[in-house]
Structure 1
Amino acid sequence: MAAPLLSLTWTDHITGRKGFLVVDRLVRGVSSGGLRMREGCTLDEVTGLARGMTMKEALHYDPECRYVPLGGAKGGIDCDPRDPGAYDLLVRYLRAMRPYVEDLWTTGEDLGLSQDVVDRAAAEAGLVSSVQAVYPLLDDEAAARRRLSDAFAVEVDGIGLAELVGGCGVAESVLTALDRAAVPYWRTRVAVQGFGTMGGATARFLTRAGLTVVAVADIKGTIANPAGLDVESLLAARDAHGTVDRAALRPGDRELPGDAWLSAEAEVLVPAAVSYAVDTANQGQITARWIVEAANMPVLPEAENLLAARGVTVLPDVVVNSATNAWWWWTLFGDVGPDAEEALAHVRRAMRTLTEGMLARAERDGTTPRAAAHAIAAERLPVIADRYGWYR
């Protein structure tokens, strides 16, 4: 596997904490990938995430769209986002990375950071925007920036559109897999690990499609109800980090240990929180038919091999959670407007096409969905490079 184009480690001069930036590839001189903050974040983790972003961008390549895929990148900071000094650390990191953000790395929210926090810190660090590197590629920068700003102001039932598009994409991947397997939605139970932006939106869209969410895990533990949880009540009871106020639980809801979501009696598991959540030690607890990677890299490769051997299908992150990134660029480049109905319809069409293509390729080649997704990306990357080039 080729080395990334750029890999660097930053050491904060005040706290000694580390930050990382990996640019896996450039297209027209620009790359795309979020910035995460978590205790224990490593350079290897960020490198894997940057490579995944390269594939996500390639998988969404459509020559009929205005949006042209960018290269893949990722940033990471080794710090608990709840740490009192986390925000100041973020500002210092962005000041250090300012030349890269200005010229070649577009970034945004990821694990541990919300978009409003990234935007506020970027402004304090002297940046015009966290995505300003892409501005020279736009036909009408002012109109594009206004369109994206308007889109971020759109709310659906009290939740911002930007917080919903990723979960909508995850849900559509689930529904596509169920349709291919001829499994009725009403007979499908779901367990979700992580109830922040991605996990919460996924639970909402799946519930509204007719599935039953029977378990939700947050930092305090797992909330379970075999008859189904009241997802909307739990969403309303979340704090900024996706932790549910237990006062909102109903009489039939049970509080279980944090890892109980793994063994929930459900057909679909949605890890939507941290990387490396499913390993060789705990994969044996899983009885679900599908694991749907709403988080980045939640299933370790060795665990995935063991799961596949006993008939558990993993729908990979490079496809499943790619809608948020794609929506940003569809909106900025003008493929969709700042309208919830239009945006969510576009997400559903794109994610169904992508997931269907991946699963059909896996069936044809006799491989896993992940191997199929990687094969599709590998075919598209040279086409993108030949048409647009790595550098400006």
Structure 2
Amino acid sequence: MHDDVRKSGAFNPYEMAVQQFELAADKLSLSEDMREILRKPKRELCVNFPVRLDNGRIKTFTGYRVQHNVNRGPAKGGIRYSPEVTLDEVKALAMWMTWKCAVVGIPYGGAKGGVICNPKEMTPAELERLTRRYATEISIIIGPHSDIPAPDVNTNPQVMAWIMDTYSMHEGFSIPAVVTGKPLSIGGSEGRNEATATGVLFVTRRAARYIGMPLQGARVCIQGFGNAGSIAARLFHHEGCKVVAVCDSQGGIYNESGLDPAAVVRYKQEHSTVVGFPQAQPISEQELLEVPCDVLIPAATEGSITAHNADRVQARLIVEAANGPTTPEADAILYQKGTTVIPDILANAGGVTVSYFEWVQDIQSFFWGVEEITHKLEMIMNRAFDAVALQAERYHCDFRLAASMLAISRVAEATKIRGIYP
């Protein structure tokens, strides 16, 4: 896959995920038999279902749920609502989830789901009907011990509550552990909402120390100002960093002496975008990636950093809060430039780690405080970073290859030990 396909709109995340997998498999000298098992998803469910709209019309929507691998435990992964959802995107995200869970050592396999829809054009009542019908369609493969969904792009704790309620209604009693990222009142976990951004901060601290870069006063650029991006801006600001640029899907803002994230969040709540924030100059999303900075945090969608712009990225450290923001071609350019990239499967694993904590708490009906959760998260993220850094040193490779190798070897080992049934 070449980067020009990204420009023509034919960018395929699944091809990119397989390409990354093959690079790591080559380095691990993985057998062809094992590659055959690991490069394909275990299950791909496609559902077409009718939803009654508020105007009385019926519209049919298409949804997916893909389970990539379940040899290390139940499948785990988010559900996204977007007009851009494709089966290949969902397959790629499910594969990345498998490696993400393995790299931080939590006992899950990878899954992902999505519905092709534009939630911004739907009323809350339409979204509820869509969610409950989609949950019913995929209820044949989800469950607290088989596949546990979570929020993702354009879904939130309320959507998880509807899925949990729908699933529970089918069973006849409450099953909070069927989804994570739920509201606290029905079995959600403390710290879940901030988990991805908190995990990003923990690995950035570790990575900055590793490359000998002080975080105090470091200039940070954040692409994407949704849940992960806006909370990361706040956390890095508290850490003593200067957040110099942020952007959302409408455009970006830049102030070299630093933005006040709390003021930007307030502005975005009022105007639905960061564009036009008074104490900053406007920049495009593309320009944000090339701003002079120490830490760049891509927190938007796949394929942002490509062969076309990688040589213009000026950050010393890239920490991927989003999934798949850097193409393999861009990785090669960045590695040659000496830019350290902390890959998505390590950098944003805080979300799935605290999802795991939520699931454990639901299963045992015993809940922990936010201090305990944050402490456990920091331990897991630091341990994972150290293991990946060691792997990178041992094989003289970048962090993405090191993280992929570590994850793939763990999944391959579980697959080999379990054997093939029958």
TM-score range with shorter-chain normalisation? Answer: 0.7 to 0.9
Q: Contact 1:267 / 1:288 at 8 angstroms: preserved in 2?
A: yes
Change (3 A) 1:325 1:164: same
Q: 1:193, 1:199 within 8 Å by CA — same for their partners in 2?
A: yes
Change (3 A) 1:178 1:114: same
Gaps of 5+ in 2: 1-34, 51-57
Please give the per-residue CA displacement for 1:294-333, whole angstroms capped at 9, x wherever unaligned.
0111112222222223222221111111111111222432
Cα displacement (A) at 1:148: 9.0
Q: Give CA deviations for 1:269-311 in whole Å, capped at 9, x if unaligned.
A: 1111212222222334311122211011111222222222322
Displacement, 1:193? 1.1
Answer whether contact 1:217 1:223 (CA < 8 A) is retained.
yes
Per the alignment, in what secondary structure is the counterpart of residue 46 of structure 2? strand
1:106 to 148, 156, 173: 148
Q: Does residue 92 of structure 1 match 2:133? A: yes
Indicate conservation of the 8 Å contact 1:101/1:130, yes or no. no
| 1:116 alignment counterpart | 158
> Match of 2:204?
174
User: 2:335 and 2:160 mapped to 1: Cα distance?
Assistant: 38
> Which of 70, 77, 81 is residue 108 of structure 2 equivalent to?
70
Structure 2 counterparts to residues 218-233 of structure 1, below 5 A:
218-233=248-263
Deviation of 1:88 after TM superposition, in Å, equals: 3.4
Equivalent in 376, 384, 395 of residue 365 of structure 1 = 395
Letter in 2 for 1:59: V
Displacement, 1:255? 2.3
Q: Which residue type is aligned with residue 51 of structure 1?
A: M
Query: Measured at CA, do residues 260 and 366 of structure 1 come closer, stay the same or move farther in structure 2, by a change above 3 Å?
Result: same
How far the C-alpha of 1:243 sits from its partner, in A, is 4.2
CA distance in structure 1 between the aligned counterparts of 2:179 and 2:72, rounded to whole angstroms: 11
Give yes or no for the alignment of 1:345 onto 2:375.
yes
Tell me, yes or no, if the aligned pair for 2:253 and 2:274 is still in contact at 8 Å.
no
The alignment-based identity, stated in percent, is 27
Match for 2:43: what amino acid? L
Deviates more, 1:82-91 or 1:113-122: 82-91
**Secondary structure at the counterpart of residue 216 of structure 2:** helix
Mapping 1:95-244, distance limit 5 Å: 95-102=136-143, 104-124=146-166, 126=169, 128-129=174-175, 131-132=177-178, 149=186, 152=189, 154=190, 161-239=191-269, 243-244=272-273
Following the alignment from structure 1 to structure 2, what is the Cα–Cα distance between the partners of residues 80 and 327?
28
* Distance change >3 Å, CA 76–CA 147, structure 1 → 2: closer
Q: Is the 8 A contact 2:64 2:113 kept in 1?
A: yes
Task: After superposition, give the CA deviation of every residue in 1:13-52 in whole Å (9 maximum; x if it has no partner).
Answer: 4534422111111247721111112221111111111111
Alignment correspondent of 2:298: 271
Gap change, CA 1:133 and 1:270, over 3 Å in 2: closer
Paired residues for 1:36-75 under 5 Å: 36-61=80-105, 69-75=107-113
How many angstroms does 1:113 deviate by? Answer: 0.8
Measured in 1, the distance between the counterparts of 2:185 and 2:325 equals: 30
Q: Which structure 2 residues correspond to residues 306-325 of structure 1 after superposition, within 5 A?
A: 306-325=333-352
What secondary structure does 2:114 align onto?
strand
Counterpart position of 1:23: 67
Q: Is the 8 A contact 1:19 1:76 kept in 2?
A: yes
TM-score, normalised by the number of residues in structure 2:
0.78
| Greater Cα offset, 370-379 or 283-292 | 283-292
Q: State the AA in 1 paired with 2:140.
A: P
* Matches of 1:287 and 1:182, distance apart in 2: 17
Query: Normalising by structure 1, what TM-score?
Result: 0.83
Q: Which one-letter code corresponds to 1:98 in the other structure?
A: S
Q: Which deviations, in whole Å up to 9, do the C-alpha atoms of 1:74-96 show, x marking residues without a partner? A: 11122222121555333322221
| 168 and 110 in structure 1: CA distance in 2 versus 1, 3 angstrom threshold | same
Distance 1:390 1:269, change over 3 A: farther
Q: Partners of 2:156 and 2:229 in 1: how far apart?
A: 14
Which residue identity lines up with residue 99 of structure 2 in the other structure?
M
How many residue pairs get matched?
365
Query: Match for residue 138 of structure 1?
Result: none
Q: Secondary structure at the match of 2:141?
A: helix
1:284/1:382 CA distance change after superposition, 3 Å = closer
Q: Which runs of 5+ in 1 are unaligned?
A: 62-67, 135-144, 155-160
- Contact between 1:331 and 1:338, CA under 8 Å: does it hold in 2? no
CA distance in 2, matches of 1:258, 1:12: 35
CA contact (8 A) 1:108 1:118 kept: yes
Distance across 2 between alignment mates of 1:22 and 1:151 = 24
- Contact kept in structure 1, 2:150 and 2:179, CA below 8 Å: no
Alignment check: 8 A CA contact 2:158 2:183 kept: no
Equivalent of 2:317 in 280, 290, 297: 290
**Cα RMSD, aligned residues only:** 3.0
* Aligned partner of residue 100 in structure 1, secondary structure: coil
- Aligned partner of 1:261 in structure 2 is 288
